[in-house]
């Protein structure tokens, strides 16, 4: 149970973006509920169906818990769009998102909230590179992840090293300020989140340990390379706005 002396927030919202994961979404929700039930506070879980809303909605509505909601749309828009969609609907004092797929252990949310409160952080980001993280990841994914980290660090010089982990929490005002301005719809949205945060002056950003156990036995290499290609395209768009056109600098 989270230390009540540190529990200065009244509620927390968590977003689960999902696309073609109907077979495991109920288990994702159950795992997240078990973690959030350890908090002595109110919470809500918002599942965002990034496509095939009707089928996802029928599954999620089997959970008879008013704290679990499902929203979305029929046509796939991209992970960044789905996260933004859910984050702007969230009502908690602290809002966050976690990837569907059962790879990330949601129990680490508790320590992330403690970091947020202890450090008065704006954002806390799960990091595979944190010395206390426990990561079971295929070598192919490690190579792609390491290469992308090198690109983003070289281009942007963010203080956090690992931008792409699908577990992040924000203070509500910070989330509203950032996600209302988000433009990237696909996988590079995490980088734009940090670029916007930097431009708006949200500098209290901290890494947190995570547990990742990659559960998929097969990797679609071609699909992974396509994702990397589009991530690089979107990253260069962000770089242009951040470093060249100063578009983010005009956000204040």
pLDDT in tens, 156-171: 988 888 999 999 999 9
Which residue from 135, 111, 142 is spatially nearest to 212, judged by alpha carbons?
A: 135
CA pair distance 49, 184, nearest whole angstrom? 18
**Count of Cβ atoms closer than 10 Å to residue 65 Cβ:** 10
Helix (H) or strand (E) holding 159: none
Look at strands 42-50 and 11-18 and give their pairing.
Answer: parallel
Is residue 18 over pLDDT 90?
yes
Residues 92-144: tens digit of each pLDDT:
999 999 999 889 999 999 999 999 999 999 999 999 999 999 998 888 888 88
**Residue with more model confidence, 8 or 206:** 206
pLDDT of residue 138: 82
Report the pLDDT averaged over residues 26-41.
Answer: 94
When pLDDT is cut at 50, 70 and 90, the band that residue 178 belongs to is: very high
Q: Which residues contact 137 (CB under 8 A, 6 or more apart)?
A: 128, 145, 212, 214
Is residue 250 over pLDDT 70?
no
When pLDDT is cut at 50, 70 and 90, the band that residue 252 belongs to is: low
User: pTM of the prediction?
Assistant: 0.91
When pLDDT is cut at 50, 70 and 90, the band that residue 5 belongs to is: very low
Which residue from 22, 19, 25 is spatially nearest to 102, judged by alpha carbons?
A: 25
For the chain, the average pLDDT equals: 90
User: What CATH class does 7-250 carry?
Assistant: alpha beta
Residues 46-86: tens digit of each pLDDT:
999 999 999 999 999 989 899 999 999 999 999 999 999 99
Q: Are 36 and 108 spatial neighbours (Cβ–Cβ below 8 Å)?
A: no
When pLDDT is cut at 50, 70 and 90, the band that residue 251 belongs to is: low
Is residue 6 over pLDDT 50?
no
What region does 78 belong to: left with phi over 0, alpha with psi -120 to 50, or beta? Answer: left
- 104 secondary structure, DSSP code: B
When pLDDT is cut at 50, 70 and 90, the band that residue 241 belongs to is: confident
pLDDT of residue 246: 72
- 136 secondary structure, DSSP code: E
Which residue from 200, 7, 174 is spatially nearest to 96, judged by alpha carbons?
A: 174
Is residue 220 over pLDDT 70?
no
pLDDT of residue 1: 46
Give the bridge partners for 170, in sequence order: 95, 123
């Amino acid at each position: 149970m989270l230390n009540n002396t540190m529990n200065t927030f009244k509620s927390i919202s968590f977003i689960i973006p999902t696309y073609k994961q109907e077979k495991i979404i109920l288990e994702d929700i159950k795992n997240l509920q078990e973690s959030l039930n350890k908090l002595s506070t109110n919470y809500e879980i918002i599942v965002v169906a990034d496509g095939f809303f009707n089928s996802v909605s029928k599954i999620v509505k089997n959970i008879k818990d008013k704290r679990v909601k499902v929203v979305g749309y029929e046509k796939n828009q991209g992970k960044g769009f789905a996260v933004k969609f859910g984050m702007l609907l969230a009502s908690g004092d602290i809002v966050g998102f976690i990837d569907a797929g059962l790879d990330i252990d949601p129990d680490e949310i508790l320590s992330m909230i403690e970091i947020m409160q202890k450090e008065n952080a704006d954002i806390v980001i799960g990091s595979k590179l944190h010395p206390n993280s426990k990561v079971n990841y295929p070598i192919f994914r490690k190579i792609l992840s390491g290469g992308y980290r090198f690109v983003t660090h070289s281009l942007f010089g963010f203080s956090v090293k690992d931008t792409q982990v699908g577990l992040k929490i924000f203070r509500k005002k910070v989330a509203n300020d950032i996600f209302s301005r988000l433009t990237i719809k696909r996988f590079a949205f995490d980088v734009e989140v940090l670029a916007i945060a930097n431009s708006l002056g949200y500098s209290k950003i901290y890494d947190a340990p995570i547990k990742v156990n990659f559960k998929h036995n097969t990797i679609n290499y071609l699909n992974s390379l396509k994702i990397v290609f589009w991530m690089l395209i979107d990253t260069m768009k962000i770089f242009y706005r951040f470093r060249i056109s100063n578009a983010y600098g005009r956000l204040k």
